[in-house]
């Protein structure tokens, strides 16, 4: 039997929770579907902090300038202005709701991260910022009786009728079968696709399902070639690629090669605080020069007391693997971290499908351009999550809810897992051929491999997984230049003619657009 609600939000990270609170505060009934438990999201894994203009020596113009520079010519200025100007208000709101950012003597503590011209990064409990924000947002959401959290409910597909999104199909965790839920509008807040790669800092659920579902529903997908690799993930055999926060370099950490040489001066005058794409490529180049698979992060100039206080979770994790962050060189190498591309959305979260909104890493709004500025992601989820919730209510609160749907789900089991074989083939292929350093020959080989996998009879989850790999690979092969997170060894320089966005739609050839934002009237 189908369910009916006012609005469906898919995902319970910072964007999904903030969108849900906006809808509920306006008087709507909201059903939040999550893949796992409510607190399990990319947000919870965010260590370094959130960038915001709150310190006395900072202003929105400086934050905007840093973001535009990092974005390598592909940021949308209006999106960036919205982020940095509205971000301050929403962070203050978070503090009012009980978010406990770190303080000294009652004053907020700010730290430095790569490519920021000011110390503007707020953190919580040292290196558990995302976890603290999720805690506060869940507590705030629970104050709204009209928000219904439905955990362990894998979304299978978006339901579209007459070109409009009218609901979703999900795996009912009790019935273990597909079930439909209809709504006035749906907001995608499903995060990115970092798990496409063999080495990733992302949780296991970051498989890009929202991007693929939107693509199959007919939404436009933009800039999928731009993938950010975090330079410093813990590189130990038989250990997960645990993120060693950008803030560690902001607090004075330096990178050394296998011979002990500090090498970033050979690549960029900003040294360890150069943008992430530059640091990641520099590390790869240095590993190739030395014939090794790792470099080292050196924090030994700082005291044990400072490091354990500032990075308690990192210190504990490293200690578990036999490393003392105040005495040992920490083995690190890059790992996939963030997708700049995603579902094309305007500044209010409207996608190219009426009734479908999106916010957070699942989207491409032009905020990040070709390369995300460190610690802008939590701010993006907060600001655009709120805006998407407000727009969905404003646009669609009077919309009629569909109660029947052609092709509605039938009884029977639903396999919401990505098969082990598909996962292994795609992750290895993405890492080897569509990784930090790319070229036309490797990308062509990857495309052939992924198309062969996609031609098999796959579960929905496996189909989504390989579809995201295809979206990234096609865009990377199409873009014959190097820009931001996309680097082609056969086209190593940025080219002005390629200062455009890649746009992909189901069943159509990839095309370019000089603007990422688009104008679409309210859905009603």
Q: Which residues are catalytic?
A: 276
* Helix pair angle (77-96, 377-396), 10° resolution: 90
Instruction: Give per-residue burial for 471-487: e unless 16+ CB within 10 Å, then b.
Output: bbbbbbbbbebbbbbbb
Residue 439 vs residues 28, 446, 479: alpha-carbon distances, Å: 49, 11, 11
**Integer Cα distance of 406 and 403 in angstroms:** 10
Q: What 3-state DSSP class applies to 395?
A: helix
What are phi and psi for residue 69, nearest 5 degrees? Answer: -65, -45
Q: 106 Cβ partners below 8 Å, 6+ apart?
A: none
First to last CA, the chain: 27
Q: 271 Cβ partners below 8 Å, 6+ apart?
A: 254, 264, 265
Q: What 3-state DSSP class applies to 189?
A: coil
**DSSP per-residue letters across 192-225:** --GGGSSSBSS-TT-S-HHHHHHHHHT--EE-TT
**Integer Cα distance of 76 and 89 in angstroms:** 21
**Integer Cα distance of 435 and 130 in angstroms:** 26
Q: What 3-state DSSP class applies to 243?
A: strand
**Integer Cα distance of 475 and 501 in angstroms:** 10
Q: What 3-state DSSP class applies to 439?
A: coil
């Amino acid at each position: 039997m189908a369910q009916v609600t006012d609005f469906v939000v898919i995902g319970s990270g910072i964007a999904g929770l903030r969108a849900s609170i906006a809808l509920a505060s306006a008087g709507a009934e909201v059903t939040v579907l999550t893949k796992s438990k409510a607190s399990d999201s990319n947000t919870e894994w965010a260590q370094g902090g959130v960038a915001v203009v709150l310190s006395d020596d900072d202003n929105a113009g400086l934050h905007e300038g840093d973001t535009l520079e990092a974005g390598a010519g592909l940021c949308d200025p209006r999106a960036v202005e919205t982020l940095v100007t509205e971000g301050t208000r929403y962070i203050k709101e978070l503090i009012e709701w009980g978010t406990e950012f770190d303080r000294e003597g009652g004053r907020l503590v700010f730290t430095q991260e790569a490519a920021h011209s000011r110390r503007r990064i707020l953190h919580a409990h040292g290196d558990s910022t995302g976890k603290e924000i999720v805690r506060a947002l869940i507590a705030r959401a629970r104050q709204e009786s009209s928000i219904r959290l439905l955990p362990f409910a894998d979304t299978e597909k978006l339901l579209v009728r007459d070109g409009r999104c009218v609901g979703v199909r999900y795996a009912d965790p009790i019935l273990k079968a597909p079930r439909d839920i209809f709504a006035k509008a749906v907001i995608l807040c499903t995060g990115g696709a970092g798990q496409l790669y063999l080495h990733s800092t992302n949780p296991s659920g970051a498989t890009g399902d929202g991007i693929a579902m939107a693509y199959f529903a007919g939404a436009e997908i933009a800039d999928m070639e731009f993938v950010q690799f975090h330079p410093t993930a813990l590189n130990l055999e038989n250990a997960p690629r645990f993120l060693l926060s950008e803030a560690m370099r902001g607090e004075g950490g330096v990178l050394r090669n296998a011979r002990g040489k500090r090498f970033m001066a050979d690549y960029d005058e900003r040294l360890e605080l150069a943008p992430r794409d530059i640091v990641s490529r520099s590390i790869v180049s240095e590993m190739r020069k030395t014939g090794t698979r790792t470099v080292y992060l050196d924090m030994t100039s700082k005291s044990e007391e400072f490091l354990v206080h500032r990075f308690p979770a990192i210190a504990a994790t490293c200690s578990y693997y036999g490393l003392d962050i105040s005495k040992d060189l920490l083995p690190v190498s890059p790992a996939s971290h963030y997708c700049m591309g995603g579902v094309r959305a305007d500044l209010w979260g409207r996608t190219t499908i009426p009734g479908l909104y999106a916010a957070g890493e699942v989207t491409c709004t032009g905020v990040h351009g070709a390369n995300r500025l460190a610690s802008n992601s939590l701010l993006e989820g907060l600001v655009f999550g709120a805006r998407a919730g407000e727009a969905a209510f404003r646009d669609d609160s009077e919309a009629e809810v569909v109660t029947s749907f052609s092709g509605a789900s039938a009884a029977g089991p639903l396999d919401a897992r990505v098969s082990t074989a598909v996962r292994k083939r795609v992750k290895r292929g993405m890492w080897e051929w569509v990784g930090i350093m790319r070229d036309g020959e490797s990308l062509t080989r990857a495309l052939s491999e992924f198309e062969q996998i996609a031609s098999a009879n796959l579960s929905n989850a496996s189909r989504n997984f390989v579809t995201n790999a295809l979206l990234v690979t096609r865009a990377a092969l199409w873009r014959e230049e190097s820009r931001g997170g996309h680097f082609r060894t056969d086209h190593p320089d940025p080219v002005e003619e390629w200062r455009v966005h890649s746009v992909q739609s189901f069943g159509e050839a990839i095309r370019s657009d000089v603007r990422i934002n688009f104008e679409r009237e309210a859905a009603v």
